[in-house]
Amino acid sequence: MPLIEVKNLTLGYENRTVIEDLNFSVDEGDYLCIVGENGSGKSTLMKTLLGLQKPFGGEIIFGDGLDRREIGYLPQQTIVQKDFPASVREIVLSGCQSRCGLRPFYNRDEKLLAEKNMERMGIKEFAKRCYRDLSGGQQQRVLLARALCATRKILLLDEPVSGLDPMVTAEMYELIRSLNKEGITIIMISHDISSTVCYASKVLHISRKIFFGTKEDYLKSDIGKLFIMREEDGADA
């Protein structure tokens, strides 16, 4: 049984339908990239998967005992966060909030989990540093560590490399790949087609025509060829 199965999903915002009749599934250990032009509904799809908004129709089925709240989410950074006075440890620890329920304070296990994930992301030395003083790449690692506190199985990443320089971008992709190798399922929204092709195992392309399949099939498909060609032209220009 797949981890997430999406059936005949119709979604949008403010009564405007963006995507109609979407079908795809995510299996354990997958690395799914969601690509498509701006405004094609990638972020709306992600919000719907997370339960931040309701779909207009269709259903999302979570399998293998996965609870929607157990999805680790790496959102795009907001303006508020740019000058937020919070230490790295405080932010990572806040990933454990779903484990607390109504308990007001974090227990020892949760604190250990936060430490472990900071170590995993190589940010333990920054634990007491202020989030706003870190570089873009370091900030993403902090948010990734937080997402890991919230999940054991699956990460949803919303353009994790936007605004990062090429070196840091490559590091970030390696980090995500290593997490995938550890068995964490990855769903990633991406603008960056070349790295998508490099790392993904499956591709969901959203535009007027929807493609869903393995990376190999995508590279052979018309829609895939077209998109990659255009991207490469864009990169050359």
Partner 1 sequence: MLDKLIEYLQFPFVRYALIVGILIALCSSLLGVSLVLKRFSFIGDGLSHVAFGAMAIASVLKVTNQMIIIMPLTILSAVLLLRTGRNAKIRGDAAIAMISVSALALGYLLMNIFSTSSNLSGDVCSTLFGSTSMLTLTHTDVVVCSVISAIVIALFLLFYNKIFAVTFDESFATAVGTRSNRYNLLLAVIIAVIIVLAMNLVGSLLISALVIFPALSAMRVFKSFKSVTVFSAVISVICAVAGMVISILAGTPVGATIVATDAAAFLMCTIAGAFVK
Tokens read off for 145: 């560590």
Neighbouring-strand partners of residue 188? 33, 157
- Using CB under 8 A as the binding rule, whether residue 97 contacts partner 1 is answered as yes
d(CA 130, CA 83): 10
DSSP 221: S
Rg of the chain over all Cα atoms, to the nearest angstrom:
18
Scanning 126-134, 201-209, 210-218, 228-236 for contacts with partner 1 by CB under 8 A, the matching segment is 126-134
- Using CB under 8 A as the binding rule, whether residue 128 contacts partner 1 is answered as yes
Closer by beta carbon to partner 1, 81 or else 221? 81
Question: Least distance (Å) from partner 1 to the CB of residue 151?
Answer: 9
Residues 46 and 158: beta-carbon distance below 8 Å: yes
The number of beta carbons lying within 10 Å of the beta carbon of residue 30 is 19
How many CA atoms, within 13 angstroms, populate the side-chain half-sphere of residue 136? Answer: 15
Q: Which of 61, 86, 112, 170 binds partner 1 (CB under 8 A)?
A: 86
- Using CB under 8 A as the binding rule, whether residue 112 contacts partner 1 is answered as no
Question: Least distance (Å) from partner 1 to the CB of residue 69?
Answer: 4
Contact residues: partner 1, CB under 8 A? 14, 47, 50-52, 68-69, 71, 73, 75, 78, 80-81, 84-87, 90-91, 93-95, 97-98, 100, 104-106, 128-130, 133, 146-147, 150
